[in-house]
Amino acid sequence: MNLAFTLYKYFPFGGLQRDFLRIALECQRQGHSIRVYTYSWQGDVPVGFDIRLLPKKGFTSQSRNIRFSRAMQTDLLLQPVDKLIGFNKMPGLDVYYAADGCYEQRVRDLYTGVRGWLYRLAGRYQHFSDYETAVFAAGEKTKILMISAQQQLIFQKIYTTESSRLHMLPPGIARDRCAPVNAVDVRAEFRHQFAIAADELLLLMVGSGFKTKGVDRSIVALANLPKAVRDKTRLFIVGQDNSQQFIQQAQNLSLAGRVSFFSGRDDIPRFLLGADLLLHPARHENTGTVLLEALVAGLPVLCSGVCGYARYIVASESGKVTAERYSQLEFDQRLFELLQNNDLRQQCSEHALKFAKSADLYSMPECAANIIENNS
């Protein structure tokens, strides 16, 4: 089949983008031709991919999205494909990969009363609501690849989406995230490279979108540790975003020498093996792939309960999960508990590695490609 994939922008370090690439490559492996519509493409282009860059025109995100969709549909009329697979919500999709949570629910949570009524009058709300409705409303034709059971319930509650159109996927953790046989050596080399002392503890955050992921919350938690613990603890933050306000926050809290930022990297497995604890106090998170990447690497996790994949941390007993209604005090307490208790972290690591051997945490690209191929 001739397949077209669409996403507003591709860069190598975004979770949505990495999922797109792995699914598209699996479809190509199964013999299908791959066309991609996007505003921008950063990084290498896989052999055989037909990348079609559409002009980014408009003063607002909604006007740019509308022009993008129209330009793509015009091109598809000239050169049709068998199926159009989207990684952002928009009209006309045959298949949608639900990487993002429910926009309408988020609006209802954030904007209430008069504030909510006024927000709904804005063009931004109308656009994103219309594009979400075009995918999820009852009677639409789009097949939907779900990765969060929590979000599926929310979408069905709001849009009464037919169950026959919803397909739940297993996680799709890349095998290179699994702890290798020489994990101890990799860890030692990593910690030597970054001058992490034997008695120091390394906290790790990974993900683009620092505010959403809760970088500010992690910095506060580090600052709130007792001085004796804080002085032997460092925080590495890896992701593609503007870090300036968080650097300033760390400086204001006298943590400048304890917090380090790194742009997106392709050696995340080394960071997972070199760290002592993954932090992910996200404000909202459809899944949280990095939670499972840490799990299969044997790295204990401390995350907020809003993360879709937090259930795997609970099931595997590989870390701690705070309540969905976030409390900085609770997060601080859980962090101190994990940092103070070496035996607890070791148990979490052992539980994680055992769980990673028995659970299906890897087959998402294959399942998604099969659904794309077989659903008409």
**Mean per-residue pLDDT, 119-132:** 91
209 and 167 within one domain: no
Q: What is the pLDDT of residue 150?
A: 86
**Mean per-residue pLDDT, 100-122:** 83
Q: What is the pLDDT of residue 376?
A: 54
144 and 13 within one domain: yes
279 and 369 within one domain: no
163 and 291 within one domain: no
| Rg of the chain in Å (alpha carbons) | 21
235 and 126 within one domain: no
Alpha-carbon span 108 to 99, nearest angstrom: 20
55: pLDDT strictly greater than 60: yes
Q: What is the pLDDT of residue 58?
A: 86
Pairing of strands 40-41, 233-238: unpaired
226 and 134 within one domain: no
Q: What is the pLDDT of residue 145?
A: 97
227 and 136 within one domain: no
300 and 200 within one domain: yes
315: pLDDT strictly greater than 70: yes
Domain that holds residue 160: 2-171+362-374
153: pLDDT strictly greater than 80: yes
Per DSSP (E only), the strands in the chain are 2-6, 9-10, 33-38, 40-41, 50-53, 83-86, 95-97, 143-146, 166-168, 201-206, 233-238, 259-262, 277-280, 301-303, 319-321
Q: What is the pLDDT of residue 265?
A: 87
CATH number for the domain spanning 191: value is 3.40.50.2000
Q: What is the pLDDT of residue 375?
A: 67
41 and 158 within one domain: yes
Q: What is the pLDDT of residue 81?
A: 98
139 and 215 within one domain: no
Instruction: Look at the alpha carbons of 230, 232, 237, 242 in this order and tell me if their dihedral is positive or negative.
Output: positive
**Mean per-residue pLDDT, 154-163:** 96
**Mean per-residue pLDDT, 43-69:** 94
Higher pLDDT, 110 or 55: 55
List the 301-303 sheet strands across, edge first.
259-262, 233-238, 201-206, 277-280, 301-303, 319-321
pLDDT above 90 covers a percentage of the chain that reads 84
38: pLDDT strictly greater than 70: yes
105 and 214 within one domain: no
Query: For residue 45, which of 24, 76, 73 has the smallest C-alpha distance?
Result: 24
228: pLDDT strictly greater than 70: yes
Number of domains in the chain: 2
List, as own/partner pairs, every contact residues 129-137 make where C-beta atoms lie below 8 angstroms and the sequence separation is at least 24, other chains included. Answer: 129/103, 129/104, 131/65, 131/89, 131/90, 131/91, 132/89, 132/102, 132/103, 132/104, 133/159, 134/89, 134/90, 134/91, 134/92, 135/86, 135/89, 135/90, 135/91, 135/93, 135/96, 136/161, 137/161
Neighbours of 306 (CB within 10 A): 22
**Mean per-residue pLDDT, 243-259:** 96
137: pLDDT strictly greater than 80: yes
Q: What is the pLDDT of residue 113?
A: 66
Pairing of strands 201-206, 83-86: unpaired
Q: What is the pLDDT of residue 57?
A: 87
135: pLDDT strictly greater than 60: yes
**Mean per-residue pLDDT, 105-129:** 84
Neighbours of 284 (CB within 10 A): 18
pLDDT digits (tens, 9 = 90+) for 217-227: 999 999 999 99
202 and 326 within one domain: yes
